[in-house]
Amino acid sequence: MELIVYSALDGLASRLEVYRDLSIIAPSKLDQARRLIAAERPPHAIYVDDTRSTPAPELWGLIHDAHTAGVRVLVNMVGAGQVILSDARALGISTTTDRDAASVAAWVGAALGISVRAAAGAVPVVAIGAAKGGIGKTFATCVLAEGLRRRGLRVLVWDSDISNPGLVPAFRVPASAPSYLHLVQRGPSSWNPTGIEPFIYHAEHTAATESGWGEIAFLIGSHAVARAENDVRLPDWQGLYAGVTQINGFDLVLIDTPPDYLRRPYATHTLLSGGTVVLPCPPGARERMGVGHMLDHFREVAPDRLDHTALLFIEPEHGVVTKVENIIPIFGQRYPEARALGTLPRAPRLASMADEYDGYISMLDLGPESVFAQTTHRIVDSLITYLGLTPTLPIPKLGAWPALIGRLRGDRVAVPSANTTVGALAAGND
């Protein structure tokens, strides 16, 4: 899609360049823009603002011509040009009043319905998403990363939940590890592999091993709860995302996302940009309702990407009366496009032992023969197949004993109970 940008807004063109299938023409003179509009094959769209101090009547001439020629017009007036706004709106033209290049670029992208570029050779991205905190996103990120690493894959774990950075204690990331919040402040010209690489933390305890295990490396935002002024604006996060996917040396980027999915739609962005979303799904009523909300949201904004979502069922906590096997067929029926990766057992004892351990240890090493570890390996294998990754190591060997238990526990035929729905779905939309 061709977009004419008639603007002197600092940084706008570079922000627009991250969009897929968008070629930008930026004439510096008004009559150049008018000639492009009058051409036999005019461009698809034009963005016009008043930052070039062009007199309003001349801007209006350009806008009017473009509109008449059937070109999609996007108008942003922040100064003298504001007198035009109501006339533009009367023609049904999209308008805004915004001096911030990042949010203007995001506005243009949204108005044109385009998503950020996933360049050729981009690293596959998996966002762990949820509409709710405390559901197991960080937990799932940890065990999936460790499982993938045991297949020889190199994983970059990106902690995007700076309001509650659970990965830092889980992986014992030291305070000396750099924070990408500084990188965000440096601006878009730094959001490329060369700029990002110094902000990747390589931990000794998750380094690649001689036996062929891959590495887990980290992009950490904050070590404690981030301060409000450190909040990363969505267009900045999206710019960083584009840079992260260009980094060499990783087979996969795993993103731990925050739960406020409407304000920080990182999982949605991942899905729209060609990535995959994994949703941890404990069977409790509130949890599965949250997962249902996420899937409904994806169905609304990215219906053709729903087949790039996967459900990671998680056994309920002690005392929860709902069973995972009752929930699986209901999700299957309601969201047939979403893949089920398997059911992660609950292992509070292993989790607690890992938490209390002096230093970092993976739960997979604390209980290598456990049902938990063996099930994790099978889930990781499903994820690898789903993503089309090429592992260099086989599934860690199952001992006879856990394999038997796995068969007894995991592979039972599910029997749905008649009156259970995705989210009690009380709202009556079922």
Per partner kind, with CB cut-offs from 5 to 8 A, the member of Mg ion, ligand ADP, none near residue 346 is ligand ADP
Work out how close the CB of 317 gets to ligand ADP at its nearest, in angstroms, rounded to a whole number: 8
Contact 332, 351 (CB under 8 A): no
375 lines the binding site for ligand ADP (CB under 6 A): no
Rounded to the nearest angstrom, the gap between the alpha carbon of residue 313 and the centroid of all alpha carbons in its chain is 20
Query: What are φ and ψ of residue 340, in 5° steps?
Result: -95, 125
- Can you tell me the distance from the alpha carbon of 194 to that of 176, in angstroms, rounded to the nearest whole number? 20
Q: Which is nearer to ligand ADP, 134 or 198 (CB)?
A: 134
CA-based radius of gyration for the chain: 25
137 lines the binding site for ligand ADP (CB under 6 A): yes
Q: Label the pairing between strands 216-219 and 252-256.
A: unpaired
- Can you tell me the distance from the alpha carbon of 273 to that of 3, in angstroms, rounded to the nearest whole number? 20
Work out how close the CB of 285 gets to ligand ADP at its nearest, in angstroms, rounded to a whole number: 17
Number of residues located near ligand ADP, criterion CB under 6 A = 15
Sign of CA dihedral 405, 408, 414, 420: negative
Work out how close the CB of 265 gets to Mg ion at its nearest, in angstroms, rounded to a whole number: 17
Number of residues located near Mg ion, criterion CB under 5 A = 3
Stretch that binds ligand ADP, among 51-59, 220-228, 287-295, 343-351 (CB under 6 A): 343-351
Rounded to the nearest angstrom, the gap between the alpha carbon of residue 414 and the centroid of all alpha carbons in its chain is 31
Work out how close the CB of 280 gets to Mg ion at its nearest, in angstroms, rounded to a whole number: 10
Q: Which is nearer to ligand ADP, 16 or 170 (CB)?
A: 170
348 lines the binding site for ligand ADP (CB under 6 A): yes
163 lines the binding site for Mg ion (CB under 5 A): no
Beta-bridge partner residues of 127 = 255, 277
- Three-state DSSP state, 58: helix
Exposure pattern of 370-393 as b/e (b: 16+ CB <10 Å)? bbbbbbbbbbbbebbeebeeebee
Pick from 54, 94, 138, 160: which binds ligand ADP (CB under 6 A)? 138
245 lines the binding site for Mg ion (CB under 5 A): no
What strands, in cross-sheet order, belong to the sheet with 339-344?
201-202, 216-219, 155-159, 252-256, 125-128, 276-281, 309-314, 339-344
- Three-state DSSP state, 234: helix
The one-letter amino acid at 88? A
Contact 288, 281 (CB under 8 A): yes
Work out how close the CB of 139 gets to ligand ADP at its nearest, in angstroms, rounded to a whole number: 3
Pick from 11, 61, 124, 133: which binds ligand ADP (CB under 6 A)? 133
Work out how close the CB of 199 gets to ligand ADP at its nearest, in angstroms, rounded to a whole number: 22
Burial group, residue 263, by CB count within 10 angstroms (0-12, 13-18, 19+): exposed
288 lines the binding site for ligand ADP (CB under 6 A): no
Contact 128, 286 (CB under 8 A): no
Pick from 116, 344, 373, 422: which binds ligand ADP (CB under 6 A)? 344
Work out how close the CB of 141 gets to ligand ADP at its nearest, in angstroms, rounded to a whole number: 8
139 lines the binding site for ligand ADP (CB under 6 A): yes
| Helices within 346-393 (DSSP H only) | 348-356, 363-366, 371-387
For the window 292-331, what string marks contact with ligand ADP as x by the rule CB under 6 A? ----------------------x-----------------
Work out how close the CB of 347 gets to ligand ADP at its nearest, in angstroms, rounded to a whole number: 5
For the window 146-175, what string marks contact with ligand ADP as x by the rule CB under 6 A? --------------------x---------
Region for 352 from its dihedrals, namely left if φ exceeds 0, alpha if ψ lies in -120 to 50, beta otherwise: alpha
Per partner kind, with CB cut-offs from 5 to 8 A, the member of Mg ion, ligand ADP, none near residue 134 is ligand ADP
Per partner kind, with CB cut-offs from 5 to 8 A, the member of Mg ion, ligand ADP, none near residue 139 is ligand ADP
Beta-bridge partner residues of 256 = 128, 159
138 lines the binding site for Mg ion (CB under 5 A): yes
346 lines the binding site for ligand ADP (CB under 6 A): yes
Contact 84, 60 (CB under 8 A): yes
Q: Label the pairing between strands 2-6 and 45-49.
A: parallel
Work out how close the CB of 250 gets to Mg ion at its nearest, in angstroms, rounded to a whole number: 21
Stretch that binds Mg ion, among 31-39, 132-140, 176-184, 275-283 (CB under 5 A): 132-140
Q: Which residues sit at the interface with Mg ion, rule CB under 5 A?
A: 137-138, 166
Which residues bind to ligand ADP, rule: CB under 6 A? 130, 133-139, 166, 314, 344, 346-348, 351
